[in-house]
Structure 1
Amino acid sequence: MTPPTLAHVACPDAHGGHRMAYWQWGDAAAPHLVVCTHGLSRQGRDFDVLARALLARAAAQGQALRVVCPDVVGRGESDWLKDPMGYQFPTYVGDMLVLLNTLQAQAPIATFDWVGTSMGGLIGMTLAGMPDLPLPAPLHRLVLNDVGPVIEWQALERIGQYLGKAGTFDSVEAAAARMREISAGFGPHSDEQWLALSRPMLRPVPGSSWRMHYDPAIAVPYGALTQQSAADGEAALWQLYDRVQAETLVIRGADSDLLSPATAQAMAARGPRPRVVEFAGVGHAPTLVAADQVATVLDFLLPAP
């Protein structure tokens, strides 16, 4: 299958603007758009397996499909911000609106779906839960991958222990081993699968070493988060969630420390009343690489006619 193309959009900020990169798969003129957005320290190539599977399913159904996987600013091939305090949701949501309007200008969007892992899910929930935002089309289907309105504090503390502190590595294999250690919640992967997830996370450094792809400064606003401020934000997130009109699927790692069983159960009973699917042996967050995880997303986004 043809690899994705890399493109950029120019996004405004208070310091002269920045560029956000995105990876585009499939038919750039297709009226059906699926946007897949990654977690806090990840990047858009996380969705390579899912994107290929979505395109294969669409082709089998005789549909044209465009899959777009952005690198949220500060990650992957996107610019790093001049002001670290810009690494927060108002920037991320604003950048996604620029991206969506750019894609709409390239080819009109008739059907708009969103797959979001962790941070990417919260971005999608914001887009779906704020009806006055200038979306090119209403959000049709929303996948929230291991995230909800309540984010458990112990998970935030765990992530804070490594965010922005990766340093450099002597080899891709050494970097992959370290990422595997801190990402145990992703669940079992073959060595080949793990290397495929790890290579796009690395950038060469002069002197034959490697560093993580993201700006270490994304940890600055994260480090200012307190247990009280996290709790204070829950009410606003529930308000967003309760306004979601999109058909919604919630995916949860059965061992997740970020999305609790109680929160997933509460989500199922209110707002868009999603179906909740749990995957055993996985924590935070399912990578959507395993065949059963991929099939769950495919059946939701591209159900049999």
Structure 2
Amino acid sequence: MQQLEWINVDALDVAVRVWHPDAPRTLVAWHGLARHGGDFAALARRLGPEWRVLAPDTPGRGLSTWSPRPERDYTYARYAEVAVALLDHFALERVAWLGTSMGGLLGLRLAAEPATATRIARLVLNDIGPELEPAGLSELGEYFSRPHEFTSFRDLEAELRHHYAGFGIADDDGWRRLALESARRLPDGRWSFHYDPAITAQFANDTPRDLWADWASLGCPAMVIRGAHSPLLAANTVQRMAETQPGLVSLEAAGCGHAPFLDRDDQVTAIADFLACHTPQRREL
């Protein structure tokens, strides 16, 4: 990360991590449910100096504000408002968007809504689509509805290695970095994760959407990455996505589940090739 910028949305301070701030092209990279923008550091390094990568911490995660009203602020409607504020802050009329899990569904929402559709030039969905496997979704909701507290940092790291095995991180250094960037001290000296436990409010308070209708209305080029062992995105869902959007570019990430960490050369090369096709140049301010 080269810079850290802040956006204020109705008293919520939203941190935006910026790599290659002077690059000619821009990619917005939005993380999953219980992660933060720092997850895209390896992707940003591998994409290189031609790409400015903007990776916000969604409210309730990372360096951003925890909301006193989770039932209002931890919903896709609020995240969409934050996303528009980010696009306006950086004067991005039209931009490439990559979203992991929750961040992918947010990008799909923006690309499908008439008010924001023209602002998404290309869309990359990382292990997410318009239909999710019920068992995997249930397991996800159950896991994050429970408190996670640890006596030692080593215990926290061991839990990360277990729960996020689907990231496909290949070495001990990678796991240690993930743990360092995911931990916070509790008042009693124990450890927990960086996010507000109330982020699961979105499961109870979000308004359901017809995601297949959103997908069918998509007007920009799209790419989907599926972890080969994903419990959330089935292979037959990707096939149906391609039937609905014949131009869909797809990649199956070997050795990954939910969700590929996008830190491998083959994954980044495929993303870079897709993004390079007619992605708008950055507008000079």
- Output the TM-score relative to the length of structure 2: 0.89
* 1:209-248 correspondence to structure 2 within 5 Å: 209-222=190-203, 233=209, 236-248=210-222
Indicate if the aligned counterparts of 1:243 and 1:271 stay in contact, CA closer than 8 A: no
Work out the CA distance in 2 between the residues paired with 1:303 and 1:131.
Answer: 23
Select the residue among 88, 92, 100 that pairs with 1:117.
Answer: 100
When residues 301 and 126 of structure 1 are mapped into structure 2, their CA distance, relative to the original with a 3 A threshold, is same
When residues 222 and 111 of structure 1 are mapped into structure 2, their CA distance, relative to the original with a 3 A threshold, is closer
Q: Which of 119-128 and 172-181 deviates more?
A: 172-181
Aligned to 2:63: 77
Indicate if the aligned counterparts of 2:3 and 2:21 stay in contact, CA closer than 8 A: no
Aligned to 2:9: 11
Counterpart of 2:181, as a letter, is: P
Work out the CA distance in 1 between the residues paired with 2:230 and 2:112.
Answer: 24
Select the residue among 202, 211, 233 that pairs with 1:259.
Answer: 233
Q: Which of 111-120 and 186-195 deviates more?
A: 186-195
* 1:105-184 correspondence to structure 2 within 5 Å: 109=92, 112-133=95-116, 138-184=119-165
Indicate if the aligned counterparts of 1:32 and 1:111 stay in contact, CA closer than 8 A: no
1:34-80 deviations in whole A, cap 9, x for unaligned? 00000001100000000111224x2xxxxxx3210000111001111
Pair 1:199-2:180 in alignment = yes
When residues 169 and 94 of structure 1 are mapped into structure 2, their CA distance, relative to the original with a 3 A threshold, is same
Q: Secondary structure at the match of 2:212?
A: helix
Indicate if the aligned counterparts of 1:247 and 1:272 stay in contact, CA closer than 8 A: no
Q: Which of 153-162 and 71-80 deviates more?
A: 153-162
Aligned to 1:62: none
Q: Secondary structure at the match of 2:48?
A: helix
When residues 303 and 246 of structure 1 are mapped into structure 2, their CA distance, relative to the original with a 3 A threshold, is closer
Segments of 5+ residues of structure 1 without an aligned counterpart are: 59-64
Work out the CA distance in 1 between the residues paired with 2:169 and 2:6.
Answer: 33
Work out the CA distance in 1 between the residues paired with 2:205 and 2:133.
Answer: 16
1:170-228 deviations in whole A, cap 9, x for unaligned? 34332111011112222352111112222211123345432211000112332578xxx
When residues 205 and 238 of structure 1 are mapped into structure 2, their CA distance, relative to the original with a 3 A threshold, is same
Counterpart of 1:102, as a letter, is: H
Indicate if the aligned counterparts of 2:126 and 2:225 stay in contact, CA closer than 8 A: yes
* 1:60-75 correspondence to structure 2 within 5 Å: 65-75=51-61
Tell me the matched-pair count. 278
Q: CA deviation at 1:166?
A: 4.1
Counterpart of 1:116, as a letter, is: G
Aligned to 2:85: 98
Counterpart of 2:89, as a letter, is: T
Work out the CA distance in 2 between the residues paired with 1:4 and 1:160.
Answer: 34
Identity of counterpart residues, as a percentage?
Answer: 38
- Output the TM-score relative to the length of structure 1: 0.84
Q: Secondary structure at the match of 1:46?
A: helix
RMSD: 2.3
Aligned to 2:265: 291
Aligned to 1:61: none
Work out the CA distance in 2 between the residues paired with 1:81 and 1:166.
Answer: 18
Segments of 5+ residues of structure 2 without an aligned counterpart are: 279-285
Indicate if the aligned counterparts of 1:166 and 1:212 stay in contact, CA closer than 8 A: no
Q: CA deviation at 1:284?
A: 1.0
Q: Which of 75-84 and 193-202 deviates more?
A: 193-202
